[in-house]
Every structure is written in structure tokens, then in C-alpha cells.
Amino acid sequence: MNPAEPASPRPPIAIDPAALSRGRGRFLLRAGIALLVLVALFGLNLLVKGISPYYQRILILAGISVTMAVSLNLINGYTGQFSIGHAGFMAIGAYTSAAISYYCGNLNKPGNDGIMLFLTSGGLQLPEGVAAVIFFAGVAYVGGVAASLAGLLVGIPTLRLKGDYLAIATLGFGEIIRVVILNLQFLGGARGLTDIPGTGAAHSVFENPFIWVAATALLTIVVSRNIVESTRGRAFLAVRDDEVAAESCGISTTRYKVTAFVVSAFFAGVAGALAAHYDSYLSPENFNFLKSIEIIVMVVLGGMGSLTGVTLAAVILTVLPESLRAFSQYRMVIYSALLIVLMLTRPQGLMGHRALKPRKPRSARVAA
Amino acid sequence: MAEFLQQIINGVAWGSIYALIALGYTMVYGVLRLINFAHGDIYMIGAMVGYYSTRALGWSKDPNPFHFVVILLVSMIACALLGFLIERGAYRPLRARSKLTALITAIGVSLLLENGGQLIFGADPKFFPTLIVNRPIINTPTLVITNVQVIILVTAVLLMVALQLFVYRTRTGRAMRAVAFSHDASRLMGIDLDSVISVTFMVGSMLAAAGGVLVSLSNPKIDPLMGLLPGLKAFVAAVLGGIGNIPGAMLGGLILGVAETMVSGYLSSTYRDAIAFILLVVILLFRPAGLLGKAVPEKV
């Protein structure tokens, strides 16, 4: 703070030059970290390629589960809205991206390769590897956007609902989405959609979905955390804690609830796109109520609102069923019993007691 | 015209089944403000108990209305017990906790019943033995009404009338209504909250079990997951009529049954399952308190 300046009332967020230069430095630091993370991801990818496909599969599935669970945590944990139709958003992301891939990006099927052709031999003359990466990133993004549109559609009518009603309404939406997809023949209907292209050109580093999955999971975690720990983001927690009080403090609960749905649905959609392109096969039955429940169990087990808890629970609940494959027929029974016992004994989950506490706002830290 | 009538009859038959299940939802919600997700699975257990008891009593090849009544009663009593156990074990300890906890537990119980059922009964569908031979009563080329449909309708109506009498003309019924109004005031009036809630669960489960046996008369294929969708739809029916409202549940069930059959018959049978949820979204958007419900303003 400049001692020569008069002691006039300052805006809470400092705009003086000193802070700006700190801001620039901070930006460079963050760009550097992002670059390092990217390099680390590539390195991790190389490592992962070395292990057996079975373990690779577990890692990839874990990554997808983490994305789903963390995105659901934004609605259930941070905003306190109980949504049990999350699989519906995943389905929309999955099917949108898969449909585009299948009908416009399949180089192996002449007639179904419009966009890819344009990228490679037609307009842009890009090498196939680069084209595939751009294509998949674009497709995943579009899937996410489609899902977030659905999130908007779901979020707006459910605004006025509380607790149980909201749960049932989201469940209803999830089921509507599933039934509609089931009836659309060009999406495969009940048979499902097969031969979806992969996530990158053959033999390229991006062919293995792991790098995409890891990047998405990381992105989801970072965005989720940043949203909630930001100055405005504390409103999410306020809505969770007491909606009436929040409204009286001037927080538009409408806006924050819908935002939670939209952002959360985006990541669920991207996760769906990843799952679709990894398995190369989609069926509406993969996105039914049971799938939503699986994700809810992850969030509840981890502790609603605790980012570390939810991530941990997502990984545990992906790895554990695999390692206990011998008991796979008991899996759902164990899940349900686990849910009941958890609610009876420790409803805050694994790390609920360390649920997010808001940090000091930026302005307080800058002025210090 | 006759086809329209036929659809209405089918719709009303289905609607009465939904109404029976919806009554359980609405009663439990009225008393506990809890959506008992496991209720649809009690309907399934009712059908399963009916199946196994018919075989145990050696009546599989012996259709007889008397057998039907006995099996119905056996099923109802068994499920009343199950409802009591569920309430005691899973919901009572959570009465003081947040509603969210109870909701998640309800989902857990539902899943437990479904998947446990798959383990115990086997996931493959079973065929409920014929207890009443399906014979048409009215048999014209355009309109067929079978005796089974009439029996389903009559039984459902009898049960609903019995419920009305129970809730509005007996002391326990009055206690139930009091508890639905206010837990604390009821306790102050000397009503034993725990037993009233238990009775509510038991009565609701009995109705669901009856629904399960009745539906097995006309749709004999039963499997452990048969309760999932009807349970959700019955919940929609309860919300449609106004959750917590007993005549509302009956009305909602009828409307849902008829709507489903109409859409399935005249539009497309593949969208049949979506109708319930579309109705749900519509009613929650325009009249969240339900058709017969009263909008309760939120007190701060």
C-alpha cells in the first residue's frame, strides 16, 4: 500500500499497480504449472502404456468415475441439491459425441467420414494424428455442451423443488432421457451403437484414452475446486447451508443452482464421451438409474462436499469391484448394504468432516 | 368407440394397481415426510411370496377363487411384517436425522431388496401359477372384459374402501391423521408415535402386496426387478394426486393408468414408460401440490 496516498475508501479488490505486477507473476506461475502438468500427463501416459491392458482399463474407468463423481459433487455436495439422474447427462454427452463420431468422423467408413476427411485430405491437409486429436477434442466438447444444455433444461424447472421432490424430478429426467434415446433408431435404439471410432489415430500417443481421461479428471477437479473457492462461489455453499438465509442475503439461489447443474452436466457429458469412445459401444441400458446410483454411492461414501473424499471414493469403488471379481454377483447387494450401513453409522462419509471450508477471500490476502 | 372403451378398461385395471401402491407411498409420506423408495419392491415381494406360497400349498395346478383369497391374505400378512421390519431397522434410527440421509437409506433398502431378491429368488422370471382362470365376461368382437380384470378392479376398490374406513372411522386411523399433521402435538396428545408409524408402514405394505398378487393374475411373469418401474410410476401417481392425500393417490393412480394405456394404444407403446415421468415433470411444474393437494406455504 502506498503510504503517500490519502486514506480514501478503497474498493475491496485492490487495483493498484503493485497488485497487478503480482498478478502477472501469478499468471506466469500458473502457466508454468499447467505446462508441467501437461508434461507429467504425457509421461504418465507412457508409463501406463507399459502395464497390462487389464490394469489400463481399471485406470481409465477410475478416471471416468472420478470425473462423474466430482461433477456430481458440485450439485449434491457443494450446492446441496439432491440430483439422482446424473447418468442422463452422461448419456447425452456420450450419444452426442458418439453420433458425430460415427456419422461424420469414421475414416474407416466412407460416407461416414465427412469432418475427418475435411480435416485431413479436404480443406486443412492436417496429418491424421493431429486431425484425430482435434476431432476428438471437438467432439468431446460438443458432447459436454449438449449435456450442459440438458442440465439447463433440467435445472430450470426443478428450481422450486426441494429435497425429495427434486430427487424424484431428476430421476424422472434421467429416465426420460434414457427412454428417448432408446427410441431413436439412428442412435442404435435398444441394440446400441457400435463401431464408434477411438480417441486418436492408430498408434498415436492419443490413441490410448488414458491421457484424455486423466486430463479430464484433473480438469474437473481443478474447475470444481476453483469455482467453489472463488469469491462468488461461496454462494454455492450458502445455498446448501440455508436457502432462505441465502436469498435474504441477496444471493440468487436460482442462478447458482442452475449454474451447478450446467457445469456439472458439462463434465458428466465429457465423461460420457470418453466412455463411449473407449468402449466403442453404447447402449441406453448403461445409463439407467443404477448407474446414477453408483455415482451417488461414490459421492456419499466420500462425503458430500469433500473433494478429496469423493475422488478417493470414486477410485475405491472402481477398483474394489474389479479386485473382488469373484464376488461380482454380490456386488450390488454389498453396495446397497453399504449404503444403508453408511447412513446409519457415518452419514458424513469418509471425509465429510473435512468438507470444504471457504478460504479467506482474495482481497483479504492481497491487502495483507 | 368400443376400442376406446377397451383402452379405458385396461387403463383402469392398471390404474387400480398403481393406486394400491401409491396409497402406501402417500401414507408413509404423510406420516414421516419420507419417500419410501423401497415400496415398489414390497410389491415385488408380495408377488414372490404369493408365488412361493401357492407352490408350497400345492395349489399350482388348482385354480380356485378361494385359493386366490388365501394367497392374497398370506401375501399381505408377510409383507406387513416386512414393512414393519424395514421401518424398525432402517428408518426409525434415522428419524432425528436429515431427510437426505433417510432418502439415501430408502434407496439403499430398495436396492437391497431388488438385488437380494435376485440372489435369493434367482434373476430369471418366474410364472405365477394361475389362481383364477382367465375367462371373458363380455366377449364382443370389439370389447373384451375378462373376469380377471373385474376381480382386480373389485378387489382394489374393496381394499381402498377398507382403507378409507380405517383412516377416517377408527381410532388408529385418527391417530395416523394426527401424526401426519404434527408429530409433536400427537405425542402431547398421548399418541404412541412409534406404533402409529409402524401401523402405517404395515398397512401400506399390505396394499402393495395386494397389488403384487393382483397384477400376477393378469401378468403372470414375475421377476425380482418387477417393482422398480411400477414403484416409480406409483410414486408419480401419488405426487399427481397430492402426496400425503389418500383420495389423491387413488385418483392419481387411475389417471396414470389410463394415460399410459391411451398413449401406449394410440401413440406409441415404446414411450409408455416415459409418460409417467413426463406427467411428473408437468405436475411439478404447474401444480406441485398435486391435483387434490393443498399448497403449504413455506414457513421461515
Q: How many residues does chain B have?
A: 300
Contacts of A300 in chain B (CB under 8 A): 104
Q: Is the pLDDT of residue B156 over 60?
A: yes
Residues 6+ apart with CB under 8 A from A275: A64, A90, A94
How many C-beta atoms lie closer than 10 Å to residue B78's C-beta? 21
Q: Tell me, rounded to whole angstroms, the distance of Cα B53 from its chain centroid.
A: 21
Q: How far apart are CA B243 and CA B257, in angstroms?
A: 17
Q: How far apart are CA A251 and CA B248, in angstroms?
A: 36
Contacts of B116 in chain A (CB under 8 A): 333, 336
Q: Is the pLDDT of residue A201 over 80?
A: no
Contact A77, A304 (CB under 8 A): yes
For the segment A154-165, the average pLDDT, to the nearest whole number, is: 78
Q: How far apart are CA B252 and CA B245, in angstroms?
A: 10
- What type of residue is A344? L
B236 touches chain A (CB under 8 A): yes
Task: Average the pLDDT over each of A164-178, A187-201, B82-96 and give the range with the smallest value.
Answer: A187-201
Q: Is the pLDDT of residue A203 over 70?
A: no
pLDDT band at A62 (very low <50, low <70, confident <90, very high): very high
Scanning every residue of chain A, which has its alpha carbon at the shortest distance from the alpha carbon of B100? Answer: A163
Q: Is the pLDDT of residue A105 over 80?
A: no
Task: Average the pLDDT over each of A38-42, A119-123, A217-221, B111-115 and give the range with the smallest value.
Answer: A119-123
Q: Is the pLDDT of residue B56 over 70?
A: yes
pLDDT band at A366 (very low <50, low <70, confident <90, very high): very low
Q: Which neighbouring-strand residues pair with B126?
A: B222
**b/e string for B189-224 if b means 16 or more Cβ within 10 A?**
eebebeebbbbbbbbbbbbbbbbbbbbbbbebebbb
CA distance to partner chain A, nearest, from residue B131 (Å): 32
Helix (H/G/I), strand (E/B), else coil: B240 = helix
Residue A356 pLDDT: 47
Residue A18 pLDDT: 58
Task: Look up residue A8 and give its three cell numbers.
Answer: 480514501
Q: Which of residues 95-154 of A touch B (CB under 8 A)?
A: none
For CA atoms B242, B243, B247, B251, the dihedral sign is: positive
Cβ–Cβ gap A171/B232 under 8 Å: yes
Contacts of A180 in chain B (CB under 8 A): 274
Q: Which neighbouring-strand residues pair with A194?
A: A281
Residue A269 pLDDT: 95
For CA atoms A291, A165, B164, B250, the dihedral sign is: negative
Cβ–Cβ gap B236/A172 under 8 Å: yes
pLDDT band at B95 (very low <50, low <70, confident <90, very high): confident
List, as one string, the DSSP characters of B21-40: HHHHHHHHHHHHS---TTHH
Q: Is the pLDDT of residue A23 over 70?
A: no
Scanning every residue of chain A, which has its alpha carbon at the shortest distance from the alpha carbon of B108? Answer: A336
Number of H helices, E strands in chain B: 11, 4
Task: Look up residue A204 and give its three cell numbers.
Answer: 498415436
Mutate which of B37, B97, B263, B277 to test chain A, going by most A C-beta atoms within 10 A? B277
Contacts of A340 in chain B (CB under 8 A): 90, 105, 108-109, 112
DSSP state of A12: S
- Of A181, A75, A97, nearest to A146 (Cα)? A97
Task: Look up residue A167 and give its three cell numbers.
Answer: 430427487
Percent of chain B past pLDDT 70, that is, above it, reads: 98
Q: Between A217 and A304, where is the model more confident?
A: A217
Q: Is the pLDDT of residue A70 over 70?
A: yes
A333 touches chain B (CB under 8 A): yes
CA distance to partner chain B, nearest, from residue A296 (Å): 9
For CA atoms B33, B38, B43, B46, the dihedral sign is: negative
CA angle (A98 as vertex; A191, A319 as ends), nearest 5:
85
Q: Which neighbouring-strand residues pair with A282?
A: A193
Q: How far apart are CA A315 and CA A301, in angstroms?
A: 11
Contacts of A337 in chain B (CB under 8 A): 108, 112
Cβ–Cβ gap A179/B270 under 8 Å: yes
Q: Is the pLDDT of residue B88 over 90?
A: yes
Task: Average the pLDDT over each of A113-122, A172-181, A281-290, A295-304 and give the range with the smallest value.
Answer: A113-122
Q: How far apart are CA B145 and CA B153, in angstroms?
A: 11
A84 touches chain B (CB under 8 A): yes
Task: Look up residue B56 and give its three cell numbers.
Answer: 408350497
The number of CA neighbours under 13 Å toward the Cβ of A181 is 29
For the segment A132-142, the average pLDDT, to the nearest whole number, is: 86
How many C-beta atoms lie closer than 10 Å to residue A148's C-beta? 24
Q: Is the pLDDT of residue A182 over 90?
A: no
For the segment B182-199, the average pLDDT, to the nearest whole number, is: 93
Q: Between B73 and A47, where is the model more confident?
A: B73
Contact B270, A176 (CB under 8 A): no
Contact A250, A311 (CB under 8 A): no
Q: Between B238 and A16, where is the model more confident?
A: B238
CA angle (B236 as vertex; B225, A255 as ends), nearest 5:
115
For the entire predicted model, the pTM comes to 0.82
Residue A16 pLDDT: 57
B223-271 confidence digits (pLDDT tens): 888 888 898 889 889 989 988 888 899 999 999 999 999 888 887 777 7
B93 touches chain A (CB under 8 A): yes
* A157 closest CB neighbour out of B110, B114, B281: B281
For the segment B199-220, the average pLDDT, to the nearest whole number, is: 92
Q: Is the pLDDT of residue B141 over 80?
A: no
The number of CA neighbours under 13 Å toward the Cβ of B195 is 8
Percent of chain A past pLDDT 90, that is, above it, reads: 21
For the segment A228-246, the average pLDDT, to the nearest whole number, is: 86
Cα of first residue to Cα of last residue in chain A, in angstroms, is: 9
Residue B170 pLDDT: 94
> Which stretches of chain A are DSSP H helices?
17-50, 53-73, 86-104, 114-117, 128-155, 163-183, 209-229, 234-241, 243-248, 253-279, 289-302, 307-323, 331-345, 362-367
| Residue given cell 453396495 in the structure block | A335
Residue A145 pLDDT: 96
Q: How far apart are CA A358 and CA A262, in angstroms?
A: 22
Cβ–Cβ gap A344/B94 under 8 Å: yes
* A333 closest CB neighbour out of B107, B119, B280: B119
| Residue given cell 441477496 in the structure block | A250
A161 touches chain B (CB under 8 A): yes
DSSP state of B142: S
Q: How far apart are CA A43 and CA A84, in angstroms?
A: 37
Q: Is the pLDDT of residue A290 over 90?
A: no
How many C-beta atoms lie closer than 10 Å to residue B8's C-beta? 15
CA distance to partner chain B, nearest, from residue A368 (Å): 39
Q: How far apart are CA B74 and CA B98, in angstroms?
A: 36
Q: How far apart are CA B27 and CA A20, in angstroms?
A: 62
For the segment A170-196, the average pLDDT, to the nearest whole number, is: 81
Contact B64, B206 (CB under 8 A): no
A163-181 confidence digits (pLDDT tens): 777 888 888 888 888 888 8
pLDDT band at A367 (very low <50, low <70, confident <90, very high): very low
- Of A89, A48, A99, A41, nearest to A68 (Cα)? A89
Cβ–Cβ gap B228/A289 under 8 Å: yes
For the segment B13-20, the average pLDDT, to the nearest whole number, is: 92
* B112 closest CB neighbour out of A161, A173, A333: A333
Task: Average the pLDDT over each of A118-122, A269-273, B49-53 and give the range with the smallest value.
Answer: A118-122
Cβ–Cβ gap B108/A157 under 8 Å: no
Residue B257 pLDDT: 93
B162 touches chain A (CB under 8 A): no
B120 touches chain A (CB under 8 A): no
CA distance to partner chain A, nearest, from residue B52 (Å): 22
